[in-house]
Structure formats: structure tokens, C-alpha cells
Amino acid sequence: MATKKKWEYSPAPESKQPAAIASRYELFINGKWVKPTSSNYFSSINPATEEKLSEIATASEADVNKAVQASRQAYEKYWKKMAPAERAKYIFRIARIMQERARELAVTETLDGGKPIRESRDFDIPTAANHFFYYAGWADKLDFAFPNKKANSLGVAGQITPWNFPLLLAAWKIAPALATGNTVVLKPAETTSLTTLKLAAIIQEADLPPGVVNVITGAGQTGAWLTQHKDIDKIAFTGSTEVGRIIQRTLAGSHKKLTLELGGKGANIIFEDAPIDQAVEGVINGIFFNQGHVCCAGSRLYVQESIAKKFVQKLKDRISTLLVGDPMDKNTDVGAINSAQQLKTIQAYIKIGKAEGADFFESDCTLPQKGFFCRPSLFTNVAQSNRIAQEEIFGPVLCILTFRTDDEVIEKANNSPYGLSAGIWTDKGSRIFNISKQIRAGVIWANTYNLFDPTSPFGGYKESGFGREGGLQGLQPYVQFVKP
């Protein structure tokens, strides 16, 4: 062979054009797009380029009241009375339109949130649509879901979603609420409102009765007004444990039912008899999926000492092959950090980890000049007492600890206020059953990691929250039992 040129992937950017983002978005209340009473708008930017994408209405308390009122009216007037099978058909319609507009939604999600287009295209959007499809089917089968009980709807559900999986979590919230006969007022995270607003447009296109779903945009204060509202029967929140506490306190003594899906510090445990190469992939997927902005990320890696050196080397090799950069490039593995603020938080933790004496390794990839980016990295020589091993970093930073025995790793894995997820990698079936039973976490991935499915309940133990989303168990947070 003559001149040998290294084979690099040429840029393969997805077109922005299908996103069709409007220059301004209003509030979606009672089936209509209405201007905020405050006349205030905030900018939504593309975290990969720092360019402004659109401006979005800030809902005031009066707007929140209007939305709740519309939702209450829709509940009493239409949704509560509607035959469940008809309710189901509306939800199926939403799922179908989401599938039809998948490309638009995927491109918008990536532009707005910074996640790789491969992830929004292959995971976020299809899973969101599937969630509607799954719960649609439940609407007229609730009598089978709870033995010896009749399940009634609650009324108006106030829902608050985070910025890491904007559309997917809107689906996780709206789909079961509607299927069980509740109406909804939803507030998306302010940095990533666009796909939720597009979902509102889809709901409008699906011709749902006005007010059944309302979307109000704004920052934390808007959410606070929603949780404090007297005429809300249910709050579902996904976000930080810190805000979860405030919401739980706000709701204390009220009749409002509450679901919290909060933080995590997932233990991913690698035994010496693990399928090593698949475990490496599982660890990579566990911490670098969505730039590590995942509440169930496998951010605490426990490797059995006998294989630690070899395993860490394999991880480092693999990290070096990750393609970091433009989220719109179809080959990008790790995209942009969601916001300047989050990038600052991650960088602060990296500094803390170094100060704590842990050994730091990061990919040698070059980062784009503009936008919020962070190299995938890991810490070795980490102790349970280090802050980086205890606190949720919510970024592409892995902490690696070692262990010697099963008992030791069970104890260490449970040694956390959180309890959302865990991974176990071993070839021994009986060990999987034992460890998965002993670990106090809501989702256990054995010989795999970070998988989600509409049929599979998701939610935490301890300070990772309560209530489940997904599956049969995901219905219960939205119903009250009455005598059969």
C-alpha cells in the first residue's frame, strides 16, 4: 500500500431544517396558545453552539391558575366522563403522530438539549412514542390491573420534568396520567422546553378536548406555583433530590398524591468472572450515555481487585475511542453538556476529586471551540469517603472503587442515601439473584446497563424517590382505590 492515511469518519451532520423551530413559543392552555400575562419570555439556547433557538413564555402565577382551572374543567367536563376505550384512542393517536413526526422531534431534542442525534433518534423519541402506545392500551383495562379494587382517577395532575430526557419524561408523565383518566398541567425544565411544546402541538393535532393537557413554561418559580396550587390532586416530579424535598414539604398534610423520581449514584459492580468486554461496554454506556446526565447512571464503579488493573486499562482504551463533539453529527457518541451551569458543576467536581487525591484520566479528544463540552473521564484510587463517590455529579465522570468479596461490595453499594439503580456483572446466576436482592435499589441491571422500556417499572428506593413510572406499577400513582 502506498501512502497510508488514517481512516477518519468524515462529518455526517444531520440537517437542522426538520426541527422547524418557531422564533417564539406561547403557553399551551385550554387547547390554545396563549400569551403569558407577564409578557415575559426567556431564551432557549443550543448548548452545543450557544446560539439562541427560540424564546419561550414565562408563566406567571395567574397563568398557572388559568392552566389548572382549564385542566379541572376539562377533567369534569370531558375526560372523567369519557368512555375509557375512547380515551385510549386519543392516546394511541398521540403515539402515532409522534412516530410520524419523529425526525422533527429528534432534531429539536438534540438542538435544544445537546444530546447526540443518534440517541434522540434511536432512543428518546421512539421510546417516548412507545410509552404513549403502551399506556393507551391500559385505559380501558384498569379493572384488571388491581385485584379486588376499582381504580378511579385522581383529577388534575401537576407534572414537572427535568432537562435530561425532556420529551421522554414528558411521555412518562403524561401517558399514564391520561390513561388513568386524569388531566394534566405539565411544566418542562426551562433549558429544554421545545420538544414538550411540540408535544403540546401534537396533542392539539390529535384533537384532544381542550384543557386535558396544558403545558406551562418557566423556571423553578413556575413549578413552585404549580405544586402549591390548591386544586391539584397529584404531583409527579422528576429532578434533583433537593427540589424533591421542597415539594414533599410543600405537599405535607394535603390530599395531593406524590411521585418523586430523584437523584442517584448507581453502583455498577464488576466481578472477576464477568463477561469482561461486554461489561466494559456496559460501564461506558452506564456513565457516558447522554453525557452522564442520567439519574440512574452507573457512576460508582466497583471492580473486583483481582481484575481491576486490566479492567481499568480496557476502560481507558475504550474512552479514547469515544467521539465527542457536535451532537448533530450522526457519529457523535458524547454530545454537549446541557447548560453552562451544569458544566460548571461537573468541572467543580473534577477539581474536588483531584483535590481529594484520586487519580484522574480523561480522553485526549479535542473539544469544539464553542458550546459546553466535557471530556469523558474517570477517577481511580477513589475511596468510599470521597465526595466524588458519594454525590451525584450528573456528568461524564466515572468513579472507580475496588472490592474483594461479595459481602463487602453489597455493603459498599448500599452505603449511599440513594437507591435508584445498580449493575451486576458476573457469570454466576446464583450470585446475581443474591446480590440483586441485597441491593437497595429500584432497578437492577444484571449483565447489562441503562435499558428502559415502557413495560418496565422505573423508580427508586431511599432518597432516590418513591412511586414507579412505567409498566403496570406505573398506573398506581395516578389512581385512587374505591370499593369494587
Partner 1 sequence: MAKQSRLEVWKTYKNYVGGQFPRTESGRSYAVKNAMGKTIANVCQSSRKDVRDGVSAARSAWSAWNNRSGFNRGQILYRIAEMLEGRKKQLSDLLVTQGYTAAAATQEINRSTDRLIYYAGWCDKYQSLFSAVNPVASAHYNFSVPESMGVVGMLAPANASLLGVVSLMAPCIAGGNTCLILADQEKPLAAVSFAEVLHSADVPGGVVNILTGYQQELIDWISSHVDVNAMVCFDQEKADWQKIQEIGAGHIKRTFQWNAKQLATAAGQSPYFIMDLQEIKTTWHPIQTIGGKGGAY
Partner 2 sequence: MTFKKPVFNAQILNHPPVEQTGVEERTVRFTKRSIKGPSKMQGLLMVLSMIDLTTLEGKDTPGKVNQLCTKAVHLHDQVPGLPTVAAICVYPSMVSIAKKALKGSSIKVASVATAFPSGQTSLRIKLADTRLAVEDGADEVDMVISRGKFLAGEYAYVFDEIASVKEVCGTARLKVILETGELGTLDQVRKASSIAIAAGADFIKTSTGKIQPAATLPVTLVMLETIRDHYHKTGKKVGMKPAGGISKSKLALHYLVMVKETLGDVWLDKHWFRFGASSLANDVLMQVAKETMGNYQSPAYFSID
Q: Does 295 qualify as catalytic in the annotation? A: yes
Question: Does residue number 99 form part of the binding site for partner 2 (CB under 8 A)?
Answer: no
Indicate the helix (H) or strand (E) that contains 425.
strand 421-425
DSSP 360-387: EEE--PPPPSSS-----EEEES--TTSH
Q: How far is the CB of 235 from partner 2 (least distance, A)?
A: 36
Per the CB < 8 A criterion, the answer to whether 163 and 113 are in contact is: yes
Q: How far is the CB of 437 from partner 2 (least distance, A)?
A: 21
Per the CB < 8 A criterion, the answer to whether 36 and 27 are in contact is: yes
Interface residue with partner 2, options 22, 82, 276, 340 (CB under 8 A): 276
Of the candidates 14, 104, 295, 392, the residue annotated as catalytic is 295
Interface residue with partner 2, options 55, 61, 76, 273 (CB under 8 A): 273
Q: Does 242 qualify as catalytic in the annotation? A: no
Binding partner of 252, given partner 2, partner 1, none, CB within 5-8 angstroms per partner class: partner 1
Strands (E) across 183-332 are located at 183-187, 213-215, 234-238, 257-261, 267-270, 300-304
CB closer to partner 1, 211 vs 460: 460
Q: How far is the CB of 451 from partner 2 (least distance, A)?
A: 9
Binding partner of 12, given partner 2, partner 1, none, CB within 5-8 angstroms per partner class: partner 2
- What's the CA gap between 50 and 47, in Å, rounded? 5
Residues in region 319-338 near partner 2 by CB under 8 A: 321, 330-331
Of the candidates 104, 119, 190, 261, the residue annotated as catalytic is 261
Indicate the helix (H) or strand (E) that contains 244.
helix 241-251
Instruction: Name residue 424's beta-bridge partners.
Output: 269, 446
In sign, the C-alpha dihedral spanning 128, 133, 136, 141 is negative
Question: Does residue number 8 form part of the binding site for partner 2 (CB under 8 A)?
Answer: yes
Q: How far is the CB of 12 from partner 2 (least distance, A)?
A: 4
Interface residue with partner 2, options 143, 277, 305, 453 (CB under 8 A): 277
Binding partner of 484, given partner 2, partner 1, none, CB within 5-8 angstroms per partner class: none
Binding partner of 244, given partner 2, partner 1, none, CB within 5-8 angstroms per partner class: partner 1
CB closer to partner 2, 3 vs 385: 3
Using CB under 8 A, list all residues that contact partner 1. 130, 147-149, 241, 244-246, 248-249, 251-253, 260, 262, 417, 432, 436-437, 440-448, 451, 453, 455-459, 461-466, 468, 471-473, 481, 483
Instruction: Name residue 45's beta-bridge partners.
Output: 52
Q: Which three cell numbers, joined as nine digits, stand for 452?
A: 428502559
Indicate the helix (H) or strand (E) that contains 461.
strand 461-462
# residues contacting partner 2 (CB under 8 A):
28
**Residue with grid cell 432497578, as numbered in its chain:** 443
Interface residue with partner 2, options 175, 206, 274, 346 (CB under 8 A): 274
DSSP 255-295: S-EEEEE-----EEEE-TTS-HHHHHHHHHHHHHGGGG--T
CB closer to partner 2, 89 vs 330: 330
Binding partner of 408, given partner 2, partner 1, none, CB within 5-8 angstroms per partner class: none
C-alpha separations of 62 from 9, 69, 229, 250 in Å: 52, 10, 11, 19
Indicate the helix (H) or strand (E) that contains 320.
helix 305-320
Q: How far is the CB of 308 from partner 2 (least distance, A)?
A: 14
CB closer to partner 2, 125 vs 479: 125
| CA angle in degrees (0–180, nearest 5) for 19-22-24 | 145
Binding residues for partner 2, rule: CB under 8 A, are 1, 4-12, 118, 122, 273-279, 281-282, 313, 321, 330-331, 427, 447-448
Known catalytic residues? Answer: 261, 295
